[in-house]
Structures are given as structure tokens and as C-alpha cells.
Amino acid sequence: MSTPPTPLSPDTLPDNDNVPGNHYAYCVRLDGRLFMQTGRMIAYYPGPGGQPIRFEPLSSASIGGMVATRFSAPLYTRDWVVATGAGHLILGDRGYDINSYDLDDGNLTLRASNLLAFDETLELKQSIVPGFLTLIGTGKFLASSSGPVIFAEPPIRVDPQALVGWADCPSPSHHYDATWMTGFLHSAMGFLGSNSGEERQFDFTGAGTVLLQSSESGVHDPHLLRQLESQIGGLGTPGLQHLQGVIAQQLARER
Amino acid sequence: MQPFRLHGTRILEVDLRGGSVRAATGSMIAYDGDVTFKNAGMGGGDGLRAALKRRATGESIALMQCSGTGVVRFAKDAMEVLLVELAGDTLRAESERLLALSDGLSTDVAFAGLRGASSGQGLFTTTVSGHGVAALLSAGGPPIALEVSPQYPLVVDPDAFIASQGQLNQTFVTDVSWRTLVGEGSGEAFSLRFDGKGVVYIQPEER
């Protein structure tokens, strides 16, 4: 019979690396503060003195000032906490691959649901692309992905679902397949359902790096809905009525 | 005792050799030879008292008895399989993470403190004791074994807990405040703290 995994302890756990033999769990050597997504702690060893690590919501008074200068993504505040204390903190994210990255005086944009944790030295902002967050500054962050992350250089067009994030290059624009556009202009194909499923891509240009995941099954993102919701304010009554019609049609089709 | 071995990391193979093994109902994926499968009964084959306790505590367990000759293969939802050997000691496991138990192991229900009241993981835990091998399941990736010693206590998310083994004292830590009620909780409102000496197995995915 095969033996169970060798038990790990603070003496054998890595400092800031994946748990040995496990892409799906990551051990952070915490000493200070870390921004992390709510509920991603799977276990921790308290540091010397046995003081428990505290997980504080961003609205907590003791960290409020620091949060306000570091975290400017109001839509996402409820999904993040600050872990404070010392010890070995093990994180898991629904069985997705977890990797750490270093950002050196740079900026990097990630799909919000793929960003797992980041150092307090980094600054977080909501990207102009819905569902994405931008990290600015110098520090470490953790990202989860469905399958390993692949790095690519622009110019490149990627499937929106496979996109994890991008660094240094300008924000992407939408690219629509030429034949699909022709059909759309003649208002035929697009509405008759003759879609290949690949008619829309994100188009990256300029110098930088694009991060892709090997699976198109994206991480479910509850924030996207909220972001869309926050944008309907500017539509006015006619716009809202129109949107209602569109949604009703879509619902009828999906049933 | 039947030899338990892994085929890859997600399939358990058991050579029955005329003996029997208890496994989670519906977990058989293939077998050869002459094997009969029968429901192990209300209490998972541990008698009426255990059955009533399970009924009362909600720590339900659905086991089947597989006996005969041949090799039976078990798997569940492509979860990773973890084999834990027991030599007269007791394993505390999450009932839904049990895949198979060799002959010579019995299960019971123990009060585990107010564990995981938020996640519905129940106030009770299943104990496995005796001599033999228990096959457990880990979702989201390979299981992680963490050592607990007097020097290093451990805190675990109940949703990631699979099993614990050894002389461990388990306490329930709450971090509930008015913020939890308005939806701005710490996300770790309930956790398990282990003190003593032993090993705790966890999985990378929160249920």
C-alpha cells in the first residue's frame, strides 16, 4: 500500500511557496499584514507566542486608515479581509492552481476572481475593464487559475474566458471576427445563431505580458453582476426599459 | 486485512481474497472476480446503537459491504484518495470523506464540539477505530498532512477538514461579531483548533 503524505509542520513547511507536491495549496509565512480573499484560509499554525492570526473585514476600525490608502475597489470590499499576525498561513482556492508573483514597481491587471491575496505594499484599484482589478507598486501577490498559467506577448488575441490578466501593456480592446462582423452588418448571422463561439476576442497591443489559463472554464465571478448593476444608473428610463426587453428576450431563449 | 492500494491517485484497489470491505455506497467503479455488494445497513454495519446515534446526530454514513474474491476498484467524484493506517488508535473523520474501511475497523459517532455550525458540517464527527486501513477522500487536490505538537498548535477551517489522528484536543474557535450579521464577516467565523500531539489531514478545497 502507498503511504500517506509525510506530515508537515512549521519546521518543514516552505516560507512563501506552494505546499510540497501540491499546486492547489500555498503556504504564506505571515509576519504583518496580508490582503486576502474572504474564506480562503484552510489552516494555519500560530507563530511564536501562540497568538491567533486575525482576519479582519476591511471596514474594521483598527485597519481602516491603511485600507483606505491601499484598497480602492469599493465593489469588492466585502470579499476581502486583512490577515494580521504571525505564523504559517495555508491558503486554498476551490481547488484551483495557486502561484505567487512578484511585482517590481509595475502594474498588473487580473481577473478579480483570480486574485487570491496581495502584500500591503501593493495598491489595488478597480480596472476600467469590468471584472478586473489592477495592482500597482512593488510586492508579492497570489493568483489562482484553472490549470497552469501561460505567459504570452502581444500582439495577441485571446479568448475572454482564458484571460487571467495582463502586465505593462495597454488595456485590451474587443476584436470581432471579420466574417461575424459582416454577418452582423447585414444583420443576419449574428441573430440566426450561426456563431462559432469564437467571434469575440480581447485584442492586446503594445509591449507587455499577457497571462492565460489553460482552461476556458472561468472562475465564477459574482462581482461582475454587481459591476454591471452599478453602471445602469446612467441609462435613464428609456435605456432601462430597453434593457428590460433585452433581458426578457435572453431569458426566454435560455429557457 | 485486504491489501489496499492506489491506482494513480484517485482510484482505490482492494483485493478481497475471500474477505470483505466496507465502502461508501455507489463508489464501486469496476471489479473482477466474484463479488457481492450489499447495503451495510442503517448504521453502516455497526449495529443498532450506532444507527440510532447517526439518525439522531445527522452524521449519516452510507456504506455497502463488498465480499467475495477478486479486485474491486473504488472512486468518488475524481477526488484524491488518502490511505491512513490504524493500529488500535482512533481516527476522527468527516463522514462524507470516508471512501472505504478494511475489515477490523468500526465506526461510531462522537461529539466534536460546536464545529462548523455555519457550514452544516454538524456538531458530531465520525470516529473510526480498530486495526486496519481507512481510505479517505480529498477534494480539490492532494490531501495535506499537518503535524500538531505541543509546540505547534494548529487552526483549521472546518470546511477543509478531512480527518485527525492522535492524542488531540479539539476546540471550536468563533470569530462572530455584529459585522458577521451585516455580511462583513472575517470569512473565518468558525475554526477548529487542535492542541496535543497528532496529525490533521486537510484538503485544498473549502466545501
Average pLDDT over residues A164-189: 75
Domain-embedded: residue A7 = no
What pLDDT shows up at residue B172?
77
**Is the per-residue pLDDT at B43 higher than 70?**
no
Domain end call among A112, A145, A178: A145
Residue in A7, A25, A78 closest to B183 by CB: A78
A141 lies in the same domain as A40: yes
Q: What domain range is A228 assigned to?
A: 222-255
A127 lies in the same domain as A229: no
User: What whole-number distance in Å separates Cα of residue A201 and Cα of residue A177?
Assistant: 8
Q: Is ipTM beyond 0.90?
A: no
**Is the per-residue pLDDT at A225 higher than 80?**
no
What pLDDT shows up at residue A1?
44
B 140-159 residues inside an 8 A Cβ radius of A? 140-147, 149, 152-157, 159
Report whether B49 contacts B30 (CB < 8 A).
Answer: no
Span B103-159, pLDDT tens digits: 888 888 776 555 444 444 445 678 899 999 999 999 989 999 999 999 999 999 888
Domain end call among A145, A171, A189: A145
Domain-embedded: residue A51 = yes
Q: How many domains does chain A have?
A: 2
Report whether B80 contacts B9 (CB < 8 A).
Answer: yes
Angle, CA B73 vertex, CA B71 and CA B74 arms, to 5°: 145
**Is the per-residue pLDDT at A190 higher than 50?**
no
Residue in B85, B145, B185 closest to A5 by CB: B145
Residue in A38, A58, A92 closest to B160 by CB: A92
Flag the least confident range among A87-101, A132-146, A220-234. A220-234
What pLDDT shows up at residue B101?
92
Rounded to the nearest integer, the mean pLDDT of chain A is 84
Average pLDDT over residues A121-125: 94
Domain-embedded: residue A235 = yes
Gyration radius from chain A CA atoms: 21
Domain-embedded: residue A6 = no
What pLDDT shows up at residue B116?
41
For A69, the 3-state DSSP assignment is helix
Three-state SS for A29-41 is EEEEEEEEECCCE
What pLDDT shows up at residue B176?
59
Q: Among B14, B144, B152, which would you mutate to test the A interface (most chain A Cβ atoms within 10 Å of its Cβ)?
A: B144
Q: Which residue has the cell 516560507?
A: A15
Angle, CA B143 vertex, CA B138 and CA B145 arms, to 5°: 135
User: What whole-number distance in Å separates Cα of residue A214 and Cα of residue A225?
Assistant: 25
A141 lies in the same domain as A38: yes
> Taking CA atoms, what residue in B is nearest to A19?
B144
**Is the per-residue pLDDT at B47 higher than 50?**
yes
- Can you give the CATH number for the domain in which A52 is found? 3.60.160.10
A141 lies in the same domain as A49: yes
What pLDDT shows up at residue B68?
92
A137 lies in the same domain as A27: yes
Span B7-18, pLDDT tens digits: 989 999 999 998
**Is the per-residue pLDDT at A72 higher than 50?**
yes
> Taking CA atoms, what residue in B is nearest to A146?
B140
Residue in B85, B140, B156 closest to A43 by CB: B156
Q: Which residue has the cell 476581502?
A: A80
Q: Which residue has the cell 491575496?
A: A117
Report whether A107 contacts A128 (CB < 8 A).
Answer: no
CA distance B118 to chain A (A): 12
- Count Cβ–Cβ pairs < 8 Å, chain A vs chain B: 135
**Is the per-residue pLDDT at B61 higher than 80?**
no
A117 lies in the same domain as A24: yes
A125 lies within 8 A of chain B by CB = no
Domain-embedded: residue A194 = no
What pLDDT shows up at residue B117?
43
| Residues paired with A118 in a beta bridge | A35, A141
CB-CB under 8 Å, B82 with A54: no
User: What whole-number distance in Å separates Cα of residue B106 and Cα of residue B118?
Assistant: 29
Q: Which residue has the cell 454577418?
A: A183
Domain-embedded: residue A132 = yes
Report whether B127 contacts B108 (CB < 8 A).
Answer: yes
Q: What are chain B's domains?
A: 4-202 (3.60.160.10)
Q: What is the DSSP letter of A128?
A: S
A45 lies in the same domain as A140: yes
Q: Which amino acid is at A187?
A: S
Nearest to B124 by CA among B142, B109, B144: B109
Give backbone dihedrals phi and psi of B137, rounded to 5 degrees, phi first: -115, 145
Report whether B184 contacts B176 (CB < 8 A).
Answer: no
Domain end call among A145, A174, A196: A145
Domain-embedded: residue A201 = no
Number of H helices, E strands in chain B: 2, 15
Domain-embedded: residue A152 = no
CB-CB under 8 Å, A22 with B142: yes
Angle, CA A43 vertex, CA A40 and CA A45 arms, to 5°: 135
Max avg pLDDT among A168-172, B2-6, B87-91, B119-123: B87-91
CB-CB under 8 Å, A95 with B141: yes
**Interstrand relation of B20-24 and A80-92 (parallel, antiparallel or unpaired):** unpaired
B201 lies within 8 A of chain A by CB = yes
Which cell goes with B131?
486495526
**Is the per-residue pLDDT at B183 higher than 60?**
no
